Chain A
Amino acid sequence: MQQETAEAGRWENLKLSISVFMANKSAVVGLIIVLVYLIDALIMQFDPMLLGIHHPDVLVPNFLNPVPLPPSPQHILGTTYPGIDLLTSILKAIRIDLAYSFFVVAVGASVGAVIGIVSAWASGMFDEVIMRITDIVFSIPYLILALAVGFILGRSLWHMSIALAITWWPLYARYARSQTLSTKEYTFIEAAKAAGVGRTTIMFRHILPNVLPPIFIQISLDLGSIMVIFSTLAFIGFIPSANIPELGYLTSLGLNFVQTAPWALIFPGLFITIFALAVNLLGDGLRDVIDPRRRG
């Protein structure tokens, strides 16, 4: 019977979480947009023919009619130079942008979180050294590092992602460290010590469950910024070949036609912005759900 009550409690909890999230209308909008992007990425990965796309990995130029065309029934969002259909290319590009953004955030967050938590937990000299190293890495501008990495290792999407991950982990290291430090000071940690709980158990039972959720929220918020930065790098030409479908690169293709064919610039850019916005809204909603103190 007790098991049942526990089960029921968990179900109640889930229901509460969902209703808290649903109460935040903008977060729901954010979630829907992010889901649309994800579904599009998955379709492109597994069955692009569903949307009638034959070559999900490359842009298909049309050199017979390279000048951008305005939106029309054939090209719903118009075309960009050289004769590339914008809608299909954006659908293709979302997969690539999403995948690399996920990669950067996942690597940066996991490396940073581990370093930050361990550093705060160990404290003392070790903490001091690790944090100074973090500061040094933190001071490197991502664009410069990305360009340097590109110059040395060659321009590729992977190298671009690695450069971003290198500049991104210190952010998480600092964040995780500050979270750990403030959690360490709570009375419930002292109460656990008074109850005879060991150091390691306190780490896993009390510190981590309180430190990780805010980091997950940070991840969801960062996904948007990483995508913006990733496409910025592509926009300034940090891309290995001329026909990779990537939102920033698509935007740069329309750059020369900004006066005569603004759609060629606006539509790809819009898809970057919308994603960044949606992810932020979603993160806000998640914060309400994950933090038990915010559930009135």
Chain B
Amino acid sequence: MIVAARRLTKYFQLKGTGIVGGGLSLKAVDDISIDIKEGSIVGVVGESGSGKSTLGRLLMALLQPTSGQVLFDIPDDVLAEYDKYIETNQADKCRKIEEEYSIFRSKGKAMKEMRKQMGMVFQDPYSSLDPRMRVEDIITEPMLATGYLDPEKARKRCLELLDEVGLPRDFAFRYPHELSGGQRQRVALARGISTLPKFLVLDEPTSALDVSVQAQILSLLKKIRSRYNISMLLITHNIAVIAYMADFVNVMYAGKVMESGVKRDVILNPTHPYTIALISAVPGRARMRQRIILQGDPPNLVFPPSGCRFHPRCPVAFELCGWTADEVATDLDYLVQGKYYTTFQGNTQVIPKDALSILIKGTNSIQLSEMIASEREKMRSLMSIANIKDTEEGVLISLSHFVTPKMYNLDNGKKVSCLLYSPEVMATQKGAISGN
């Protein structure tokens, strides 16, 4: 593996003034493991704010993770050993391997050596090039900073790199503002590959460019990959780009990987409900698949949903997916005050009691059960209602417990983080259904 991330987590501390907001953190990347094989292009797709770019920066060691490790250029057998140690919680043995391969342990000279092996191309070529440096200085900077070449040779190599990325040599003495967006991105790419890295992170390399220029940059990237066998992590929100470029795909949502696998399997045959919805939203594919429109907004990552992070928007969520009293109470309140107003006459009160129970005042269990029974197919949160009971205070609704999904391996080599594919959960679930 050229890069192997294990249980990578990044929480950004929110700056609070005094009491308010202190100690809160935004969970941008939460417990992500990712493998990047030599010479492969691994795509990361996801909507804005799903933590794609944070993941890329963690893999480049531009950010320090809250926990987790990124191992660089690690032999497969050592990695297998490492995974075994993690599973069996042998921290001291893990540490020994980390000391050798972790990108976060390196300092000073070792870090420069590491930087030589890694490159990055950023999203916006208008801000990723220093406006006060000439193209030559921009491209030679990584070579000089890491001591890859001496200044004389670096200048020579800069001209070769300009040929490589399809720019005229006299661009070396121009300033970025004299270049167009596509030309700038070529310069950024030349900078990224100047030290012949083994691993290149492409953070939305085409999203700031015109469509015609996007295609040029993508085919240039492919050419470079085939010539130098550079492994790439391609971060993008554009499924078409992934479909064209990547070998493997990771689908991210709210800081978690939802599904990962070989490109064909993920894009043509999505498994996770989120991936299905995401792929169905790609323009032009509507004919082939019914478009699924997700309700609601991406979650607030300061207080992410419990259980599966996708469950509040999931069209097939069921009782174990992570419903909390707050979510169910909001939906119940909406029904009671809205659609069923005539039944309840507006004198009911919905009060979340604790994490898994809700108290409803001013009604009885029969009316409520009826409403819930007729709405639970459409309003998935009502699925989690396990018990409705009349008490002295009012109707007490208790919810079923929930299970947080792990990455489950499927037969075709895909990994999916959805309870529908968890062998244990589904086994008990089937029992429960037949029991009914």
Q: A2-B155, A190-B62 are in contact. Are A292 and B175 (CB under 8 A)?
A: yes
A195 at the interface (CB under 8 A from B): yes
Shortest A201–chain B CB gap in Å is 7
Shortest A128–chain B CB gap in Å is 12
A188 at the interface (CB under 8 A from B): yes
Would A194 and B173 count as touching, CB distance under 8 A? no
Would B131 and A194 count as touching, CB distance under 8 A? no
Would B131 and A191 count as touching, CB distance under 8 A? no
Q: What B residues does A46 contact at CB under 8 A?
A: none
Q: Which residue of A lies closest to B112 (CB)?
A: A196
A186 at the interface (CB under 8 A from B): yes
Shortest A209–chain B CB gap in Å is 4
Q: What A residues does B115 contact at CB under 8 A?
A: 194-196
Please measure, in the bound complex, the distance between the C-alpha atom of A172 and the C-alpha atom of B115, giving whole angstroms. 37
Q: How large is the interface on B (under 10, 10 to 19, 20 to 34, 35 or more residues)?
A: 35 or more
Would A201 and B128 count as touching, CB distance under 8 A? no
A74 at the interface (CB under 8 A from B): no
Shortest A105–chain B CB gap in Å is 24
Would A191 and B112 count as touching, CB distance under 8 A? no
Q: A5-B170, A187-B127, A210-B130 are in contact. Are A192 and B177 (CB under 8 A)?
A: no
Shortest B192–chain A CB gap in Å is 9
Chain A interface: which of B117-125, B385-393, B414-422?
Answer: B117-125
Shortest B324–chain A CB gap in Å is 36
Would B130 and A194 count as touching, CB distance under 8 A? no
B70 at the interface (CB under 8 A from A): no
Q: What A residues does B186 contact at CB under 8 A?
A: none
Q: What A residues does B174 contact at CB under 8 A?
A: 9
B60 at the interface (CB under 8 A from A): yes
Would B142 and A9 count as touching, CB distance under 8 A? no
Would A190 and B145 count as touching, CB distance under 8 A? no
Q: What A residues does B74 contact at CB under 8 A?
A: none
Q: What A residues does B141 contact at CB under 8 A?
A: 192, 195, 197
> Which residue of B131, B155, B173, B176 is within 8 Å of A9 (Cβ)?
B173
B224 at the interface (CB under 8 A from A): no
B111 at the interface (CB under 8 A from A): yes
Please measure, in the bound complex, the distance between the C-alpha atom of A188 and the C-alpha atom of B133, giving whole angstroms. 11
A242 at the interface (CB under 8 A from B): no
Would B128 and A187 count as touching, CB distance under 8 A? yes
Q: What A residues does B124 contact at CB under 8 A?
A: 187
Would B173 and A210 count as touching, CB distance under 8 A? no
B190 at the interface (CB under 8 A from A): no
Please measure, in the bound complex, the distance between the C-alpha atom of A2 and the C-alpha atom of B174, giving whole angstroms. 14
Would A196 and B175 count as touching, CB distance under 8 A? no
Would A191 and B122 count as touching, CB distance under 8 A? yes
A293 at the interface (CB under 8 A from B): yes
Would B177 and A6 count as touching, CB distance under 8 A? no
Would A188 and B142 count as touching, CB distance under 8 A? no
Please measure, in the bound complex, the distance between the C-alpha atom of A201 and the C-alpha atom of B177, giving whole angstroms. 23
Q: Which residues from 47 to 80 on chain A have a C-beta closer than 8 Å to any C-beta of chain B?
A: none
Shortest B304–chain A CB gap in Å is 26
Q: A194-B120, A196-B112 are in contact. Are A186 and B127 (CB under 8 A)?
A: yes
Q: A197-B141, A210-B131 are in contact. Are A295 and B177 (CB under 8 A)?
A: yes
Q: What A residues does B127 contact at CB under 8 A?
A: 186-188
Would B131 and A197 count as touching, CB distance under 8 A? no
Shortest A234–chain B CB gap in Å is 40
B129 at the interface (CB under 8 A from A): yes
A-B CB pair tally, cutoff 8 Å: 74
A155 at the interface (CB under 8 A from B): no
Q: Which residue of B lies closest to A201 (CB)?
A: B145
Would A188 and B173 count as touching, CB distance under 8 A? no
B311 at the interface (CB under 8 A from A): no
For chain A, the count of residues having a C-beta within 8 Å of the partner chain is 25
Would B60 and A293 count as touching, CB distance under 8 A? no
Would A196 and B146 count as touching, CB distance under 8 A? yes
Please measure, in the bound complex, the distance between the C-alpha atom of A5 and the C-alpha atom of B60, giving whole angstroms. 36
Q: A188-B129, A210-B132 are in contact. Are A194 and B177 (CB under 8 A)?
A: no
B191 at the interface (CB under 8 A from A): yes
Shortest A83–chain B CB gap in Å is 56
A206 at the interface (CB under 8 A from B): yes
Q: What B residues does A15 contact at CB under 8 A?
A: none
Q: What B residues does A210 contact at CB under 8 A?
A: 130-132
Would B131 and A292 count as touching, CB distance under 8 A? yes
Q: Which residue of A lies closest to B60 (CB)?
A: A194
Q: Which residues from 189 to 246 on chain A have a C-beta closer than 8 Å to any C-beta of chain B?
A: 190-198, 201, 205-206, 209-210
Q: A201-B145, A292-B175 are in contact. Are A195 and B131 (CB under 8 A)?
A: no
Q: What A residues does B119 contact at CB under 8 A?
A: 194
Q: Which residue of B lies closest to A6 (CB)?
A: B173
Would A195 and B177 count as touching, CB distance under 8 A? no
B309 at the interface (CB under 8 A from A): no
B380 at the interface (CB under 8 A from A): no
Shortest B158–chain A CB gap in Å is 10
Please measure, in the bound complex, the distance between the C-alpha atom of A293 and the C-alpha atom of B123, giving whole angstroms. 19
Q: A186-B127, A292-B175, A293-B131 are in contact. Are A191 and B145 (CB under 8 A)?
A: no
Shortest A266–chain B CB gap in Å is 45
Shortest B181–chain A CB gap in Å is 14
> Which residue of B62, B155, B176 is within 8 Å of A194 (Cβ)?
B62
Would A292 and B132 count as touching, CB distance under 8 A? yes
Please measure, in the bound complex, the distance between the C-alpha atom of A107 and the C-alpha atom of B54, giving whole angstroms. 43
> Which residue of A5, A190, A193, A196 is within 8 Å of B173 (Cβ)?
A5
Would A190 and B122 count as touching, CB distance under 8 A? yes
Q: Which residue of A lies closest to B131 (CB)?
A: A292
B116 at the interface (CB under 8 A from A): yes
10 more A-B residue pairs beyond the given contacts A188-B127, A190-B128, with a C-beta to C-beta distance below 8 A: A188-B129, A188-B130, A190-B62, A191-B128, A193-B62, A195-B145, A196-B145, A197-B141, A209-B133, A292-B175
Q: Which residues of A contact B (CB under 8 A)?
A: 2, 5-6, 8-9, 186-188, 190-198, 201, 205-206, 209-210, 292-293, 295
Counting from the closest, the 7 A-B pairs by CB-CB distance are A196-B115, A195-B142, A9-B173, A187-B128, A196-B146, A197-B145, A188-B130
Q: Which residues of B contact A (CB under 8 A)?
A: 57, 60, 62, 111-112, 115-116, 118-120, 122-124, 127-134, 141-142, 145-146, 155, 170, 172-177, 188, 191
- Could you name 28 residue pairs across A and B whose Cβ atoms are closer than 8 Å? A5-B170, A5-B172, A8-B173, A9-B134, A9-B173, A188-B129, A188-B130, A190-B62, A190-B122, A190-B128, A191-B128, A191-B191, A192-B145, A194-B119, A195-B115, A195-B141, A196-B111, A196-B112, A196-B142, A196-B146, A197-B141, A206-B130, A206-B133, A209-B130, A209-B133, A210-B131, A210-B132, A293-B177
